[in-house]
Amino acid sequence: MLDASRFCTSAQADWREPKLRCAFVEEDFAVVEKQLIDEASVNPKRTVLSWLQSRFPSRLAEVLLRHAGVESSVAFSQLAREDRRSLVHALTELELPVVRDRGWNYAEVTAGGVPLSEVHHRDMQSRVMPGLYLVGEILDCDGRIGGFNFQWAWATGFLAGRAAVGPGAGAPSVLPLNG
């Protein structure tokens, strides 16, 4: 969700309405619909809720039925074609509303910052203000969730620190691999 939120907030900033679609199964619409048809012929008295609960947590199964507009007590033999197709849509491409983001106080990572074109990539020194070194998330660079921003901060910090101290001040020209 944190990766997806970047694209949602970016779309909202550009006055576009973000669309978020969730697939709860790997199969496409046709395959899932065939599974439901097959289940109806093998177990016509089985409820759709029971079938869903065998694949998903109970609360999720109930919510999927609610979104599809299908009664939880309906048996496969009574499942109308349009209700079946609505359920398949909920399983394969449920559109979730994007209401808002939680704001700056809850942000995990921010995007934007000083454009990379304004920084020397070898030492992270500003092209606009020599002697100023820019690192980490102050720069317009962000990655997927999973430590990429930490790595970016450490790598740029190392380059800037080494350049700011200079080779004459005892900074190693190459970082030793064993510490």
Contacts of 86 (CB under 8 A, 6+ apart): 68, 69, 70
> 126: which DSSP letter?
B
Q: Contact at 8 Å (CB) between 20 and 3?
A: no
pLDDT at 2: 65
The angle subtended at Cα 121 by Cα 115 and Cα 122, nearest 5°, is 160
Strand partners, 20: 96
115 vs 125: CA distance, rounded Å: 12
Q: Are residue 118 and residue 88 in the same domain, yes or no?
A: no
- The answer to whether residue 27 scores a pLDDT higher than 70 is yes
pTM comes to 0.59
Closest CA to 7 of 98, 86, 72: 98
pLDDT at 50: 95
Summarised one tens digit per residue, pLDDT across range 91-107 is: 999 998 887 777 777 76
Assess if residue 36 is contained within a domain.
yes
Total of domains in the chain: 2
pLDDT at 18: 83
Q: Contact at 8 Å (CB) between 117 and 134?
A: no
| Position with higher pLDDT, 152 vs 8 | 152
Residue range(s) defining the domain that contains residue 163: 112-167
Assess if residue 176 is contained within a domain.
no
Provide the percentage of residues in the chain whose pLDDT is more than 70.
Answer: 87
Q: Are residue 89 and residue 116 in the same domain, yes or no?
A: no
- The answer to whether residue 72 scores a pLDDT higher than 80 is yes
| Position with higher pLDDT, 2 vs 61 | 61
